[in-house]
Amino acid sequence: MRRLILFLYIIITCCCNTYAQTPMGYGVVMDVKDPGRVIRTILEGSPAAKAGIKAKDVILSINGTSTTGMDNQAIVTLLKKQEQANLEIERGGTKLTISISKAPLYTFDRKCLSGDCVNGAGRAIFLPDNGVEYETTFSNGDIVGECKIYRKGVLLYEGGVKNRQRHGAGKAYMETDDHRVVLLKEGTFTTNVLTKGTTYNEDGSVNSYGNYDKEGRLTEGFFQYSYRDSNNWYVCADIRYDANERHVLNGPAKIYQRDKSGKLQLIVEGTYRNGKRDGLVKEWDYTEGARHEITYNHGIASGGTIYRISDNTVIGRDVKYRSGFPERMGIDCIYSGKFNFGNGEKTIALKEGEFSWLTGIRKMSTETKQPETNPQANTNTTTTTTPTTTTTTNTNTNTTTTSQPSKERLEQFKRERAEYNFTRTVRAVSAKMEQATDYIKSATPQNFDHSREMFLYYKKSMISEINKTLYDWEDEFPAYYTSKLKEIRNTIQNTYFPMKPAPQEQ
């Protein structure tokens, strides 16, 4: 998920419960990821700075409560509760006790760029300076009403803000590599995360819309993804995620695909349970003008009926499908049934392990000769002249036959298909890895957040690409292909963006 990380530090504050009061704080900045109880920096002009507290001081206790065993987040929470604090600190091996009292945040936590940044309309940068500018209306130093957030003059967000985080109705933007500002997310935000609304691709097309969890993952709605290098598909369902961050569908779902003209066509409609098709599922094959109605039992196709789309006539009944591909369209896995394409109903039964699209079944149906109802109908009579006229009969009764590829050819086809999908996935991941690496190499303090955001986007895209390939083809992959893709995935998962350079001490 693309996410804008606006802050890496937490300023220890004590915001009031109502906007009628003025937010108060101490001006101590700590890195919440640091377990060492070490102060990162002190805001200039704050109560902590005036009391003589310095960066790299270690907080040992707060009002008599020891901080031993606490992480910095717990220290932040404890200190925020204190209106006045007696801090026991350690500096260079020496222990000191320092008392501090809160002061209004607006007296030390911002740099006003224009307007009134306390009670009125203004534009300010909050400290430590991370290049993020807030253009909004202030009341008692707090943000009220609509807000616009910029970085280096580029609009990143406009909408509701609470505690300097995106909250309420709003729009999030991003700057592309070619310096265009495009809409990224639109809807309702909670603590910087879109919880209901729409996400977009760089070209302005919809990526997803619906409801999202606290991690920003779609849980119910409409999303887009590519499949087998084909046109984009869209799914509407109750969406969950497994340990590999793969979409897992539950409940009623519809899948659409764009045709050559760009129009969306419904291609699958039915119910999913824990990511597998369950119950009656309808699947459309517009190339053949057919609709398949297949009964699934937790992902296993037990049988179905095929209808002609134009007039709803049955063209296939008692159809059996090859099992084992619950997420792949079952219509490409036909291996037996009774079919009628206008030349009489005929039974087609492929050999063990073989399967075909409806196109192949149609061809087999026209090439196959069925036995006649009267077993004597194909009897040829030959008369020969001898002293006594005798009639001899030669009976040639035809039986149903099908011309199918050999087992060796089928295995070769599977190997070729596995090699193609493995190679395609590796090439796609390699290309994305190059782009992700470029963002690491080009990261600077000025573009850090944007570079990290794009790196995380490509990282998630690479993992999704591998997960999708493994899910679709693992049953046909040689063990080497499977283990190699899993090895690549583990390497990607353990690749992280470098930490942001520490800000200069105030």
Q: What is the pLDDT of residue 454?
A: 83
Provide the pLDDT for residue 324: 42
Q: Check residue 287 and give its pLDDT.
A: 81
Q: Helix (H, G, I), strand (E, B), or coil: what is residue 205?
A: coil
Nearest to 233 by CA among 182, 289, 284: 284
Instruction: Please tell me the predicted confidence (pLDDT) of residue 247.
Output: 58
pLDDT at 270: 87
- Cα 459 from Cα 450, distance rounded (Å): 14
Contact 460, 469 (CB under 8 A): no
**Chain centre distance of CA 111:** 38
| Among 227, 249, 358, CA closest to 304 | 358
**Beta-carbon count within 10 A of 88 CB:** 18
Per-residue pLDDT of the chain (506 residues; tens, 9 = 90+): 333 333 333 344 433 333 347 888 999 988 776 667 889 889 999 999 999 999 999 999 999 999 988 888 888 889 988 989 999 999 989 999 999 999 999 999 999 999 999 999 999 999 887 789 999 999 999 998 899 999 888 999 999 998 888 999 999 999 888 888 999 999 999 989 999 999 988 888 777 888 888 878 787 777 765 443 344 455 655 565 555 555 567 778 888 777 777 777 888 888 888 777 888 999 888 888 899 999 888 777 778 999 999 999 999 999 888 654 433 445 667 878 999 988 888 888 877 656 677 777 878 777 644 444 444 444 443 333 334 333 333 334 333 444 444 566 667 667 777 787 788 888 888 888 888 888 888 777 767 777 788 888 888 889 888 888 887 776 677 888 888 888 899 889 888 887 665 443 33
Residue written as tokens 């291609």?
267
Q: Is the peptide bond before 375 cis (omega within 30 degrees of 0)?
A: no
pLDDT value for 314: 94
pLDDT for the residue 370: 45
- pLDDT per position as a tens digit, 94-135: 999 999 999 999 999 999 999 999 999 999 999 887 789 999
The full DSSP string for 449-489 is: HHHHHHHHHHHHHHHHHHHHHHHHHTTTS-HHHHHHHHHHH
Q: What pLDDT is stored for residue 190 in this prediction?
A: 93
Give the distance, in angstroms, between the CA of residue 446 and the centroid of all CA atoms in the same chain: 28
Alpha-carbon gap, residue 209 to 201, rounded angstroms = 12
Residues 29 and 9 sit within 8 Å (Cβ to Cβ): yes
pLDDT at 443: 78
pLDDT at res. 5: 30
pLDDT score of 371: 43
418 CB-contact burial (10 Å; exposed 0-12 / middle 13-18 / buried 19+): middle
Four-CA torsion 216, 220, 222, 225, nearest 10 degrees: 60
pLDDT at 238: 57
